Chain A
Amino acid sequence: MTDAIGVEGMRKCFAEVEAVSGISFSVRQGELFGFLGPNGAGKTTTINMLTGLARPNTGSIRIGGIDCTHRPRAAQHLIGVVPDESNLYPELTGFENLCFCAALHGLGKVERQGRARELLDNFGLAQALNRKFGGYSKGMKRKLTIAAGIIHKPEILFLDEPTTGIDVASARQLRQLIADLHRGGTTIFLTTHYIEEAERLCDRIAFIVSGRIVRIDTVEHLIQPIQEKHVVQITCANTLSDIEGNLSESFPELECKTIGQRVIRVEADEPVRVGPLVRFLEDHGVEVSEARRMRPSLEDIFVRITGIEADAMRKEKEKAGSGQ
């Protein structure tokens, strides 16, 4: 079976800056492929090259078996794109926006109106179909943008940060919609900085840092090396100073690391006994407010591979998003 997306040695430079450094990967048909990385890692540039909004300097791209290397717009009938910012028309209603997007893909009037109503219904926007897009909430805008991306039933869907900057309930609904699309057989290329989102949704994940893919694998294979690990996270009420060294000396069997100023993360191959740890910290003037056993997650792997704290990446992205 042909891969839905095939990329070989794709490279993109902007003036002196190399945004994407000769990456290669493939996405199988019907797969939900996650593309994870911090701000400026090259995620959006990669999507732009795959969707025909940018041309690679070198390398090859195949979308649905079509060679798009020299004709970046050759496979656009196969793809749907949901950009990181909602880019529908604020002066058109939700219904008109969907009908217009369907018309861009050549759908006839009856078909596009029926499809628009169906999607508005599925996305819980039926009540707002005659309201102008400019008056929608952020969550509603994201939902309608996704609906516009799939109105023509694309074989391959590119989702760029679909849940960034929206409330928890809307994000949850969107994740469900993405999972439903995946179950329906759509190939999905998803970029996100929410690692738990990628872990929950994706079949395979690529980590991209500074334009290079540092790891690609299935979620199971990525997590496997740390699956047996036991992790405890201790949150302190006061600021920590130089406690990491003391802990490592007193508990050599534990791998201790401070995260920020108030959190200590402890990893071990055997179950961690929390009592002695808390007592030790309190003896050293640290007031413990919470100690929690954690399930090792993809986030741990991400931090290990990239050296980037997932929390810092998330905050950076959200800050950038709110500033827009």
Chain B
Amino acid sequence: MKLWIAFWNILVKDMRTYYLKPPNISWGLIFPLAWTSMFFIKSGSGLESILTMLPGVVAVSILFGTTSLLAVTVTFEKKNRSFERLLLAPIPLEVLMLAKTSGAILFGVANAFVPVIMALFLADLSQVVWSAFVPAVFMIAVASTFLGLFIAVAVSEVFEAQTFSNFFRFPMIFLCGLFFPIEKLPVLLKPLSYVLPLTYGADVLHGAVHGGHAMPFSLDLSLLGAFCVGLFAMSLWNIKRKWIL
């Protein structure tokens, strides 16, 4: 059994069926654009604020892009039973779910670079440490996708997936240091920040773009990696428990 054939075809099918559809592409473009504009106008501090906002906008774009689409696609396929066809294929569950999530990871990475391209025209990005920025984008995309997967397998309806996603997403915007420094959060909320994966991704992005990071890159990326493994393992456990009854 050539597993890569199954893996590649699941990825290509999902890209064609979901991620490369015009409404989703426009979602991927409009969303980062709206966030950038919103914070840019709100800050009122001119073009110099772009570098401080960019990490937050990049992280939010990845988070919303991946979780929205994955929660819909997996829940939708489960609902109309086409996911059963995948479960009946002679593919290890781990490989199957990696194939199912790879499309969302790529979509998240592509989303991340929309605000970066926009920023290129408005600010000087020559100081950005791309060797830290690119791995951080990738790891945030993986962690957000696996968070989307965790949500998708925990619910049975598409609308539930969206509601449940927001339960995680909106607090993360404020608690993960994307736009508001964690040090300025109330003491009671600070511990919450450190149990959310985006905190570590945002720290690397801030460090890579304008040098304002709290922890070493390697520690941030390792912790992000640990979140990825944990979320993926929990999702697989949930699938085995809830979908293979």
Which residues of A approach B to under 8 Å, CB–CB? Answer: 14, 48, 51-55, 72-73, 76-77, 79, 81, 83, 85, 87-89, 91-92, 100-101, 103-108, 148
Report the minimum CB–CB distance from A258 to chain B (whole Å).
41
User: Which secondary structure characterizes the binding site on chain B?
Assistant: helix
Q: Does B5 lie at the interface of the complex (its beta carbon under 8 Å from any beta carbon of A)?
A: yes
| Of B13, B88, B244, the contact of A81 (CB 8 Å cutoff) | B88
Number of residues from B at the complex interface, CB < 8 A: 24
21 cross-chain CB contacts under 8 A: A14-B245, A48-B245, A52-B87, A53-B84, A54-B244, A73-B87, A73-B93, A76-B90, A77-B90, A83-B84, A85-B81, A87-B84, A87-B85, A88-B82, A89-B82, A92-B17, A104-B91, A105-B1, A105-B6, A105-B90, A106-B2
Q: Does B185 lie at the interface of the complex (its beta carbon under 8 Å from any beta carbon of A)?
A: no
Q: Does B86 lie at the interface of the complex (its beta carbon under 8 Å from any beta carbon of A)?
A: yes
Known: A55-B244, A76-B90, A92-B17. A101 touches B85 (CB 8 A): yes
Report the minimum CB–CB distance from B69 to chain A (whole Å).
15
A104 to B2, CA, bound (A): 9
The closest CB in chain A to the CB of B240 belongs to: A55
A54 to B241, CA, bound (A): 10
Chain B, residues 195-207, CB within 8 Å of chain A (1/0): the string is 0000000000000
Which residues of B approach A to under 8 Å, CB–CB? Answer: 1-3, 5-6, 8-10, 13, 17, 80-82, 84-91, 93, 244-245
The closest CB in chain B to the CB of A90 belongs to: B80
Q: Are A106 and B3 in contact (CB under 8 A)?
A: yes
The closest CB in chain A to the CB of B10 belongs to: A104
| Of B17, B85, B245, the contact of A104 (CB 8 Å cutoff) | B85
A278 to B6, CA, bound (A): 66
Report the minimum CB–CB distance from B167 to chain A (whole Å).
28
User: Which secondary structure characterizes the binding site on chain A?
Assistant: loop
Q: Are A54 and B85 in contact (CB under 8 A)?
A: no
Q: Are B88 and A51 in contact (CB under 8 A)?
A: yes
B245 to chain A: which residues have CB within 8 Å? Answer: 14, 48, 53-55
Q: Chain A CB within 10 Å — which of B2, B9, B82, B244 has the most?
A: B9
Known: A53-B87, A55-B245, A72-B244. A104 touches B82 (CB 8 A): no
B244 to chain A: which residues have CB within 8 Å? Answer: 52-55, 72-73
The closest CB in chain B to the CB of A84 belongs to: B81
